[in-house]
């Protein structure tokens, strides 16, 4: 499936859209990690939870569940909030 990579993480992929496989969000992230080592840690913490500045969308709908089931035709968007002041 197609996965949109946010700008701050494109140093790992060198492109905005990549292809990844998996039946769940967690499996897609594992496949991204296999292809682009180090990228998963930027999105998932040591307790296997989404980092507070990361959001996942499936076909435009927000999801907070790494076990959310996906279809091969789904499109996943990863959004990273920017902070500062």
pLDDT digits (tens, 9 = 90+) for 5-38: 999 999 999 999 999 999 999 999 999 999 999 9
pTM of the shown model: 0.92
pLDDT tens digits, one per residue of 72-85: 999 999 999 876 55
Radius of gyration of the chain (CA): 12
Sign of CA dihedral 9, 12, 14, 19: negative
Domain of residue 19, CATH code: 3.10.20.30
State residue 84's pLDDT score.
58
Number of domains in the chain: 1
* Residues 54-74, mean pLDDT to the nearest whole number: 96
E strands of 1-85, at which residues? 2-4, 17-19, 54-58, 61-63, 75-80
> What residue numbers bound the domain in which 57 lies?
2-80
């Amino acid at each position: 499936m197609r996965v949109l990579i946010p700008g701050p993480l494109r140093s790992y992929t060198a492109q905005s859209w990549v292809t990844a496989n998996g039946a769940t969000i967690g499996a897609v992230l594992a496949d991204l990690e296999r292809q682009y080592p180090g990228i998963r840690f930027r999105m998932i913490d040591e307790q296997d939870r989404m980092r507070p500045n990361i959001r996942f969308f499936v076909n435009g709908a927000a999801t907070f569940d790494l076990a959310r089931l996906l279809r091969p035709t789904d499109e996943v968007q990863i959004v990273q909030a920017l902070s500062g002041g």
